[in-house]
Structure 1
Amino acid sequence: MYKNHSTSCGIIEGFFGRTWSWEDRKNYAQFLAQHQYDFYIYAPKSDKNLRREWQTDWPEETKVHLRELREVYRDQQISFGIGLSPHEIYLDNSHDQRNQLVTRIKEINQLEPDILCILFDDMRGDIPHLAQIQIDIAHQAADASTAKKIIFCPTYYSFDPVLEKVFGQMPEHYWQSFSRHLDKSIDMFWTGEKVCSSNYPTSHLDTVAELLGRKPFLWDNYPVNDSAVKSNLLQLRAFDQSHRLLNGKLAGHAVNPMNQPWLSQLPLASLPLAYENPHTYNPTLAFTQITTTLCGEKLAQQLEQDLHLLQDQGLKKLTDNEKIELRARYQQFTNNHYAQEIIDWLDGKYEFDPACLTD
């Protein structure tokens, strides 16, 4: 199908908690290609070799999986990315640390990623001259990388006050420093007015573009459900109607999916519809259309009936009887990935990871 919009859309596997399997990740290549997505970025918070132990290369078994994953996405003409979080490297801004960064990026280069992300989210930020230190690190990473695109995530990636509450007071003129000194070829992630924003007013995106000196690369935290509150929810509804107005306002659009890979497909399939049909996109109709196509008519009808319980009421507020009834309803759909993820969720197999500090 011909793509009639200019915004590059993809997913970033960037959540806490239960991770996707390697098979799930491979399956997504075909799903993304079928729904006109352009990229996939591997950045699970559970991969210690991308975060807490970022200086250490992956074990060979993991590298084999990553090379296979890269080839699967390459075969589907989907760009493959890696997200590196050099955890609090700026607390020890020494020559040795910088050498380790270059060494690690050269190891990542062996996977031949199309995209390299340098991610400073979920880290302490009340550090003098933080922006300039991070800019220097981003430039050094970009110089060492063979990736075609570099995307940088600042520590403060939203106007949401929760970031300063959790990670410390943002240094003065933090964002303005990126506008003045970060290479314009490097994109910057932004999550909107909130860490988890439901919509993105064009006036807000224009303000951010002026502040950062470039269009924001949207890190869309819907439908991700790894936080203390949202881990109790299955976020299945189609993307908000405001998404139809985003074309031309962004450097790119990366969606952070749920811990449930199959159920994530339901909202994910709606985003391209919003971009493709800006004048007619209707989230309610999109949900019905997508669930019927992906799940079949009977399961789609059941999901529509239970949507309030699954997405609004949530696991902690369900009574024991409601859980039993829901489980019985979805057990009828044998060997069905979507139904099985609902059953697993009801059975508490997607526990909240307290390492996730924002909601």
Structure 2
Amino acid sequence: MSKTNTNSSKMFLSGVVEGFYGRPWTMEQRKLLFKREQKWGLNTYLYAPKDDYKHRMYWRELYTREEEDLLITLISAAKEHNVEFVYAISPGLDITFSNPKEVAALKKKLSQVCEFGCRSFALLFDDIETEMCAADKETFSSFAHAQVSVTNQVFQHLQAPHTFLFCPTDYCAAFCNPSVSQSSYLHTVGETLLPGIDVLWTGPKVVSKEISVESIEEVTRVLQRPPVIWDNIHANDYDPQRLFLGPFKNRPTELIPKLSGVLTNPNCEFEPNFVAIHTLATWCKSSSSQKDVAMDGEDQGSDYNPQEALQLALTDWLVEFGVADQPDVSRSGSGRPKREPSEEEPMQTDEYVPGPRENPLYTAEPLTLNDLTLLAELFYLPYEHGPTALAMLRELHWLHANGDAASFGASAVDGGKAKEWRERAQHFDDMCSAVVRMFNRLSNAPNRTILYDLYNYICDIKSGVSLARAFVNSLGGRNPPPSQVITDDPEPWGFRGGLSGEFQRMLPCHGNRDLFRSPPASRVYTIRPCTPKDKLDILRLSKEMQSEALQQTAFIGDRLVEGQLAPSKHCDLVLEDDQGLCGYAFALADAKTAMNKAQYPEMMLRDFPSLMTVQTHPRVPDPNAAKRLIANVFSSLRDLGSGGVFCEIRSDDKRMLDFLKTLGMLHVLKVDGLQAGLVVMGTKL
């Protein structure tokens, strides 16, 4: 695919950066990449493997004859598939910018690559020290001036290459001091870098969760040209235990006409990048004239929907798993390797058939699209787990927090809680079984090359899931397998992380980047009764947390917040931190007293007679503060004789719904005849 950027006559660059730290891809993998890029409509490959010695550490050294042949073959293969091969070099570790011999060495190296047939280049100054040597300080007024001077000289030496990319040292907003718009470094780049040179940019951060149109417009103004995005959303070289198989997302398609290109720098392992590259290609084909895709990934009229793109990618990937990559092994219909007759094995020429009382032959179950969907959801994206992974974490968190329910007595209340615990434990066990089945089917997939790239990750997740499963079984009174018992003297696979894990668990910030559990409290919270002076702050918080669309439907809880209804005794509490009021919880012991008509079924009100409304500000990172607030209201309702409480939430208030589900203190109730836009959560007291 070849898009033209509306800001210039240049081709819109779309494709892949091999720019990670670790073992570079092989020549054969790169050739396969070019075939896939051509098939999917991508047009660019940026050669920048950090651990290729002659790309970075020994950038001055020319290529040997053997290395020349390999690069010539690679550049030719890219051309054959209409992929622009961009050769990148990273001299920033030790170059002296003011030394003409250094600049000459750089020109000579790139001239050699020109002789191989390469017509596009990149000069990278990322991940280096920002302090200039004494000689450079005498020549250049700033680090930016030094880099731009050398870059401009090289660009002119190469005589108008097809594409020329410059990666600044401040390549994301987080590195800009004090900000993008006020960065003297970026302003120098924008003002002095020659117009034919494009600038690489990773977004707000090195690994950006979202890249907004506004942020790109801001950096475009400073750089005086639209950037090329070097996207690290699927990069995993910073954490050997993580892999990212989720879709390209949180980049609105309105970005397409505002950029010079998008290149993904994906997982170190080649084969798992099928999804990252495939979904990027789908995004690049999307119409930017349509209404934009939402930043939470849901389709709002755009041609691009992340979940649909993921399913398209996984459907195509499933075919690859079925292609055997061992030509000397043919497979029978059962999926078992079948030996060809040979002189070395004359004793047995017929395939073994077990007798009626013998074990049947093992038959591998075929991998399914559901298996790959589960795999992607377990290894999703840096800032979010997939739906199944989140569901498993929520269930385990609830089962652990309510473990005492597994041994409750036979009373109506206790029996109901125990039944719920057993049902949720079974649901968790079923999800764990699905992970094990997925692991087994993947392990038997004909394409061993893909399997070997995935194996360490799927083995690790299977082991972790098995330990969690054993723990839940022990809570429920069932004996887990001896090898999975968590004791004071476990097997080595019973604890994770090695020395790195030991360090993390000893540090005070351990866990504050966890995607499921919120970071530990860094403030002191106060829970106290509500006073008349709090009324304005409560109303302000309520309005701030709800958009106009959310306020269109009136609920009973709104009347408690607005003061039209008086909460029951000791059921009006507020949460405060050092910035002021940041949450509240109000409740009515008898919700019927506030109803003008039968708003809720009689059967529901019999089990959940009380009503609570609760809200917390997003600046409250510690779920324990909200838990204590809600637990105090629950205690007051019990003292008033209530046996259950329900809470009204607007269905489009996703933040509060997810927050309450994460707390595990309330669960969604199935209630017939609810008004539109309403979700009811509740619990027995």
TM-score range, shorter chain: 0.7 to 0.9
Decide whether the 8 Å contact of 2:17 with 2:263 is kept in 1.
yes
1:4 to 1:110, Cα distance in 2 relative to 1, 3 A:
closer
Partner residue of 1:142 out of 148, 151, 155: 155
Decide whether the 8 Å contact of 2:151 with 2:166 is kept in 1.
yes
Partner residue of 1:124 out of 123, 129, 135: 129
Deviation at 1:16, TM superposition (A): 0.5
Question: TM-score under structure 2 normalisation?
Answer: 0.46
Partner residue of 1:8 out of 1, 9, 13: 13
Q: How many residues align?
A: 335
* In structure 1, C-alpha distance between the alignment counterparts of 2:285 and 2:104, rounded to whole Å: 45
Amino acid at match of 2:75: R
Offset from partner CA, 1:201-224 (integer Å, 9 cap, x none): 000000000111111111111211
Tell me, yes or no, if structure 1 residue 95 matches structure 2 residue 118.
Answer: no
Which stretch shifts more, 276-285 or 132-141? Answer: 276-285
Deviation at 1:172, TM superposition (A): 6.4
Deviation at 1:101, TM superposition (A): 1.5
Q: Which residue of 1 is the match for residue 410 of structure 2?
A: none
Decide whether the 8 Å contact of 2:88 with 2:124 is kept in 1.
yes
The answer for unaligned runs of 5 or more in structure 1 is 165-170, 349-353
* In structure 2, C-alpha distance between the alignment counterparts of 1:123 and 1:94, rounded to whole Å: 18
* In structure 1, C-alpha distance between the alignment counterparts of 2:199 and 2:3, rounded to whole Å: 24
Which structure is richer in relative contact order (CA contacts within 8 A, separation 6 or more)? 1
1:20 to 1:299, Cα distance in 2 relative to 1, 3 A:
farther
Amino acid at match of 1:338: I
Deviation at 1:336, TM superposition (A): 4.4
Question: TM-score under structure 1 normalisation?
Answer: 0.85
Q: Which residue of 2 is the match for residue 274 of structure 1?
A: 283
Partner residue of 1:221 out of 232, 235, 247: 232
Decide whether the 8 Å contact of 1:246 with 1:275 is kept in 2.
no
Partner residue of 2:372 out of 263, 285, 303: 303
Decide whether the 8 Å contact of 1:43 with 1:83 is kept in 2.
yes
SS at match of 1:160: helix
User: Which of the two has greater helix per residue?
Assistant: 1
Q: Which residue of 2 is the match for residue 32 of structure 1?
A: 37
Q: Which residue of 2 is the match for residue 331 of structure 1?
A: 443
Q: Which residue of 2 is the match for residue 72 of structure 1?
A: 77
Q: Following superposition of structure 1 onto structure 2, how do residues 80-229 of structure 1 map, counting pairs within 5 Å?
A: 80-91=85-96, 93-127=98-132, 129-145=142-158, 147-161=161-175, 173-228=184-239
* In structure 1, C-alpha distance between the alignment counterparts of 2:108 and 2:2, rounded to whole Å: 39
* In structure 2, C-alpha distance between the alignment counterparts of 1:120 and 1:324, rounded to whole Å: 45
Decide whether the 8 Å contact of 2:97 with 2:147 is kept in 1.
no
Percent identity among equivalent residues?
22
Q: Following superposition of structure 1 onto structure 2, how do residues 344-359 of structure 1 map, counting pairs within 5 Å?
A: 344-346=456-458
* In structure 1, C-alpha distance between the alignment counterparts of 2:31 and 2:88, rounded to whole Å: 17
* In structure 1, C-alpha distance between the alignment counterparts of 2:261 and 2:206, rounded to whole Å: 17
Amino acid at match of 1:135: V
Deviation at 1:89, TM superposition (A): 4.5
* In structure 1, C-alpha distance between the alignment counterparts of 2:373 and 2:436, rounded to whole Å: 18
* In structure 2, C-alpha distance between the alignment counterparts of 1:3 and 1:49, rounded to whole Å: 31
For the aligned residues, what is the CA RMSD? 2.8
SS at match of 1:11: strand
Offset from partner CA, 1:64-113 (integer Å, 9 cap, x none): 11110111111111111101001334546312212211221211211221
Offset from partner CA, 1:186-244 (integer Å, 9 cap, x none): 0000000010113210000000001111111111112111113xx32221111115342
Amino acid at match of 1:195: V
Amino acid at match of 1:335: N
The answer for unaligned runs of 5 or more in structure 2 is 6-11, 288-301, 320-365, 394-431, 461-499, 501-512, 514-685
Decide whether the 8 Å contact of 2:442 with 2:451 is kept in 1.
yes
SS at match of 1:184: coil
Amino acid at match of 1:100: A
Decide whether the 8 Å contact of 2:367 with 2:442 is kept in 1.
no
Which stretch shifts more, 49-58 or 277-286? Answer: 277-286
* In structure 1, C-alpha distance between the alignment counterparts of 2:115 and 2:3, rounded to whole Å: 34
Q: Which residue of 2 is the match for residue 351 of structure 1?
A: none
SS at match of 1:248: helix
Offset from partner CA, 1:240-260 (integer Å, 9 cap, x none): 153422211101111112112
* In structure 2, C-alpha distance between the alignment counterparts of 1:79 and 1:60, rounded to whole Å: 23
